[in-house]
Amino acid sequence: MKKLLVFLKDYKKESVLGPLFKLLEASFELIVPLVMAAIIDTGVASEDRPYIMRMCLALVLLAVIGLICSITAQYFAAKAAVGFATGLRHALFSHIGSLSFSEMDTVGTSTLITRMTSDVNQVQNGVNLVLRLFLRSPFIVFGAMIMAFTIDVKAALIFVVTIPLLSVVVFGIMFVSIPLYKKVQNALDTVLGITRENLTGSRVIRAFNKEEDEIRHFRESNELLTRVQLYVGKISALMNPLTYVIINGAIVALVWTGAVRVDNGLITQGEVVALVNYMSQILVELVKLANLIININKSIACGNRIERIFELEPSVREMDGRSPGGISGTETGTVSGSRETARPAAVEFSHVGLIYAGAGEESLTDIDFSAVCGETVGIIGGTGSGKSSVVNLIPRFYDVTSGSVKIDGRDVKEYSLKELRQKTGVVPQKAVLFKGTIRENMRWGNPDASDEEIWEALDTAQAREFVETKQGGLDYQVEQGGKNLSGGQRQRLTIARALVKKPRILILDDSASALDFATDAKLRTAIRAMAHPAGAEGRMAADGAGAGADAAGAQRMTVFIVSQRASSIQHADRIIVLDDGRIAGMGTHGELLESCEVYQEIYDSQFKKGEQ
C-alpha cells in the first residue's frame, strides 16, 4: 500500500491543508464545553442574561467558523483523493496494457477489472477519510482528556482508564478483521468472474440448456461471499455496542464522581457538564475512529491487491529497440530449395520450444521452419495441437522458452514492440470490434488510411457488399464488440482492418471459421493476389530465383493461415501440419497427402474419399 502513496505527490498542498483545517475545526470544538461551563457557572448562576446572550453568540460564531473549516477541509481532502485515484487508475491501466498474454492468462480478466474499479474506489474513499479524520479524531480524544485535566485531575483519571479500554476494543477488532476483508475481496473476484462468464457465454449456456447449472454455481459462490461478509460484519458490528458500553459506563462514573466533588465544593456544576461533554465528544470521535479504521482496513487490503498487480513484471520485455535498417540478402536468413533458392526468409523458426506459465510441459517442441517473403504458409492440426501458439510467437504475444524466432534475419526480441508489431497484421480467432464507426475501426492499424485504401481492404476481405448496404456506409455505428453484426461480418471487418495496415506479415488465426466455403474461397484468392502481385510472380516463374525475383519478393506480404479446414490451406505454398505441439509434416498439399498420415486423416475427415 505504501508504494501507492506516490500518486499523492502532486497533491502535497491539499494533503496538508485538509488535515490542518480539520485540526482547526477540532480546536474550536474543544472550546465549546468551556463556554457551556461559563454559561452555567456565571450566566445561569447569577441570572446574567446579557452574559448568556454573549456566550450564545460566541457558540454560534464557533459553529460558523467550524463549519467553514470543515467545508474547506472536505474540499481539499476530496480534491487530493480524487486526484490520487485518477493517477492510480491511469498508471494501473497503463501497466495492465504493458503485461503480456502470459500475465493476463495467469491473473484473469475479472480480477483485473475488480482492481481497476472496486479496489481503486475503496482506496480513494480510504484516502479521503484519512485526510479528514485520521488526525482529527485522535486530536479530539487526547485533547478532551487534557482539557479534563485542566478542570479536575481526579475526575480526569476516569478518562485515563476509559481511553485504553476503548483502544483495546478498536484495535483488537481491527487486527481480526483485516485478513477477513481480504477473503471478502477474493470471494468477490470469484462472483465477478462467474458473472462475466455467464454474460459473455450466454448463448452457449442456453444452447446446452445449462441455465440451472450456472444458476446453482453462481448461488454457491454468492452464498460463500455472503457468509464471509456476514462473518466479518458481525465482528465489525461489535465495535459500536462495546464502545457505547465503555463510554456510558465512564459517563456514569464521571457523573457520580462529579456529584461528590461538587457537593464537597471542589468543582462547579458547569465543570461537571463540561466533563460530560468532553466524554461525549470522545464517544463520538471514537465511533468515527472505529469506522475510519474499518474503512482503512478495507482500503489497505484493496491497496495491497492493486500493488500486487504493479509488482507483476511483463514477461515480454523490450531490448534496445535498435532499428534494423536495410538488411541485405547476406544479412538475412535464406531458404534453400528448387523454388526458393536465395530468397530472403521473412520469418524463421529455429528449434523453438514454448512452455506456458504454470504448465508442466512444453506446448511447442522443436518447431523449425522458414517462410520466405511473399510465401503463403498454411498451418493445420487438431484442436490443441499448437497452431495459435506458433503464430503468437511472431508478434511476441508470448516469448519462446527455447530456440529463436527471427524476422528478416533478426531475432524478434531485438525489435522494439512497436516496430515489430508494425510489421505484422494479426486477425485473431475471436473477432473483436470496438464501439465506433466502421471507418474508425478500420484505421486502428493505420490512422492515416484514406477511404480508398479502406474500400480496397474491404474488397479484399469480401466485406464491401454488406458495408455498402449499411446506413452511412463507412460511418455506420458498430456497437461494442460488434454485437449489431453477424459473426461472418465481424470476421471480414477484422480481416479488412489488418489489411488496411498493409503489414509485411499477415497472420490469419482461424479467422474465417464463420464464413461459408464460397466466401472463404474468394477471400483466399484475393489475399493470394495481394501476396503474389502480378509481374513479380511471373519473373519468378521465368528465371527461378534471380535478383529480380528477390527484389520483388522483398516487397511482398508473407501470409500465415491457421485453420482446421483443409480447404482453407490446401492452395498454400507450404503447409505445416502440427500434432501435439510438434511438426508432423511439411510440404505442399499433394506432398502431404502422400507422406503425412496426420494430414491424410484431417483431409479424409473433411472430404469424401477420392475427392480432390
pLDDT digits (tens, 9 = 90+) for 123-178: 999 999 999 888 888 888 888 888 888 888 888 888 888 888 887 887 788 778 77
Q: What is residue 128's predicted lDDT score, i.e. its pLDDT? A: 92
Which whole number is the average pLDDT over 560-577? 89
Please report the pLDDT score of residue 113 as a whole number.
87
State the pLDDT at residue 213.
92
- Does residue 578 surpass a pLDDT of 60? yes
Whole-angstrom distance, CA of residue 52 vs CA of residue 602 = 100
Q: Could you tell me which residue, 296 or 23, shows the higher pLDDT?
A: 23
pLDDT exceeds cutoff 50 at 23: yes
**Residue 266 CB: number of other CB atoms within 10 A?**
13
What percentage of the chain has pLDDT greater than the value 90?
Answer: 27
pLDDT (mean) for 72-99: 92
- Say if residue 549's pLDDT is above 50: no
> For residues 436 and 314, which has the higher predicted lDDT (pLDDT)?
436
pLDDT band, very low/low/confident/very high, at 179 (cuts 50, 70, 90): confident
- 502-536 pLDDT, tens digit per residue, is 899 999 988 877 787 888 888 888 888 776 655 44
What Cα–Cα distance (Å) separates residue 485 from each residue in 60, 466, 488?
66, 10, 8
pLDDT at 391 over 80: yes
Measure the CA angle with vertex 81, ends 175 and 298; round to 5°: 20
- Determine how many CB atoms are found less than 10 A away from the CB of residue 220: 12
- Return the minimum-mean-pLDDT range out of 91-95, 279-283, 309-313: 279-283
Q: Give the residue with greater pLDDT, 60 vs 331.
A: 60
What are 449-507's pLDDT values in tens digits? Answer: 999 999 999 999 998 889 998 888 899 999 988 888 888 889 899 999 999 988 999 99
Q: Rounded to an integer, what distance in angstroms lies between the CA atom of residue 596 and that of residue 602?
A: 10
* The predicted structure's pLDDT at residue 305: 87
Residue type, 125: N
The continuous run of DSSP H or E covering 379 comes out as strand 376-381
Domain boundaries in the chain? 7-311, 341-432+496-606
Please check whether the domain covering 341-432+496-606 is classified as CATH 1.10.8.50.
Answer: no
Q: Give the mean model confidence (pLDDT) for residues 332-343.
A: 44
Higher pLDDT, 163 or 306: 306
Cell numbers given for 108: 484473469
Residue 75 pLDDT: 94
Q: Quick check: 337 pLDDT over 60?
A: no
Tens of pLDDT, residues 192-202: 889 988 988 88
Out of 326-340, 365-379, 493-507, 527-541, which region has the weakest mean confidence (pLDDT)? 326-340
Q: Is the pLDDT of residue 334 over 70?
A: no
In the chain, % of residues over pLDDT 70:
91
Is the CB of residue 103 less than 8 Å from the CB of residue 358? no
pLDDT at 338: 37
Q: Would you state the pLDDT for residue 351? A: 92
Which residues neighbour 577 within 8 Å (Cβ) at sequence distance 6 or greater? 380, 381, 583, 584, 585, 586, 592, 596, 598, 599, 602
pLDDT score at 546: 40
Whether pLDDT at 543 is above 60: no
Return d(Cα 310, Cα 554) in angstroms, integer: 42
Residue 5 is classified by DSSP as G
Predicted pLDDT of residue 163: 81
Q: What is the pLDDT of residue 544?
A: 41
Which whole number is the average pLDDT over 19-32? 90
| Helix/strand/coil (H/E/C) assignment for every residue in 525-541 | HHHHHHHCCCCHHHHHH
pLDDT band, very low/low/confident/very high, at 319 (cuts 50, 70, 90): low
* Model pLDDT for residues 62-71, shown as the tens digit of each residue: 999 999 999 9
d(CA 107, CA 102): 9
The reported pLDDT for the residue numbered 331 is 41
What pLDDT shows up at residue 429?
83
Task: Give the pLDDT of residue 243.
Answer: 80
Q: What is the pLDDT of residue 344?
A: 59
| pLDDT tens sequence across 211-232 | 999 999 999 999 999 999 999 8
Closest CA to 555 of 582, 571, 534, 575: 534
CATH class of 7-311: mainly alpha
Average pLDDT score over residue span 385-403: 90
CA atoms within 13 A on the CB side of 20: 7
- The pLDDT of 22-45, averaged and rounded, is 86
As a whole number of angstroms, the distance between CA 166 and CA 11 comes to 34
- Most confident among 44-48, 319-323, 354-358 (mean pLDDT): 354-358
334-335 and 477-478 strand pairing: unpaired
The pLDDT of residue 296: 83
Which has more pLDDT, 279 or 397?
397
Tell me the residue type at 20: L
Q: What pLDDT, on a 0 to 100 scale, did the predictor assign at position 531? A: 66
- Adjacent-strand bridge partners of 585: 577
Over residues 545-560, mean pLDDT: 57
Task: Compute the average pLDDT of residues 594-608.
Answer: 86
Predicted local confidence at residue 105, as pLDDT: 80
Question: What pLDDT shows up at residue 247?
Answer: 80
7-311 and 341-432+496-606: identical CATH topology? no
Give the 3-state secondary structure of residue 517.
Answer: helix
What's the confidence (pLDDT) of residue 586? 93
Give dist(CA 242, CA 247) in Å, integer. 9
The full DSSP string for 469-516 is HSTTGGGPEEPGGGTTS-HHHHHHHHHHHHHHT--SEEEEESTTTTS-
| pLDDT averaged over every residue in the chain | 83
| pLDDT confidence of residue 156 | 83
Q: So what's the pLDDT on residue 522?
A: 87
CA distance 130 to 149: 28
pTM: 0.71
Q: Please give the helix or strand (H or E) that residue 371 lies within, else none.
A: strand 364-372
Please tell me the total number of residues recorded for the chain in this structure.
612
In this prediction, residue 609 carries a pLDDT of 54
